[in-house]
Amino acid sequence: PEQYGKYYAWGEINVLSVYSSYYSKTWGRKIDDIQGNPQYDIARAKWGAAWKLPTQAEMEELMEKCTWIWTTKNGKNGYKVIGPNGNSIFLPAAGYRTDSAYDGEKPLRDVGVYGNYWTSTSYKKDDTCHAMLFLFVNGGNGIGHSYRYIGSSIRPVIE
């Protein structure tokens, strides 16, 4: 549970070698939600019909209904998230990947500080460049948006 896993751009079902708009297959395309579409939903493509990326609403529910405890598990910072039923998961602060020019020589950023987890939801129906992320740092979490080409973590859910 404490492993960072792979970093995916939004709508990609494979890990990219370069994280930029040029290599993003969803950049510049109007796509509202990718949930359950095996062409874009990495969870559905890799793990099958029961798995999917969570929607923005599902991530908001996780934020609102669970207890969040910042902790370290096997040397990795992140949140232990405890549900109303007492079950828990660990979400590591895996940072994110980008190869944009402003990053210089640091394509992997903010490991141990930030958690960025893709939702299946686009930023706005007419937006062609952004998608919604669940974001956290020690002391807070929330929903935000980022460029689709950013390499972020995923945590699939079962339907």
d(CA 126, CA 30): 6
The pLDDT, as a whole number, for residue 99 is 80
Comparing 73-82, 100-109, 120-129, which segment has the lowest mean pLDDT? 100-109
Contact yes or no for 125/134 (Cβ under 8 A): no
Q: Provide the pLDDT confidence category of residue 58 given band limits of 50, 70 and 90.
A: very high
How confident is the prediction for the chain on average, in pLDDT?
93
**What's the pTM?**
0.92
H/E segment holding residue 91: strand 88-92
pLDDT reported for residue 125: 83
**How does residue 105 score in pLDDT terms, banded at 50, 70 and 90?**
low
8 Å CB contact between 106 and 28: no
Higher pLDDT, 136 or 17: 136
71-92 confidence digits (pLDDT tens): 999 999 999 999 999 999 999 9
**Is the predicted pLDDT of residue 39 greater than 90, yes or no?**
yes
pLDDT at 98 (0 to 100): 87
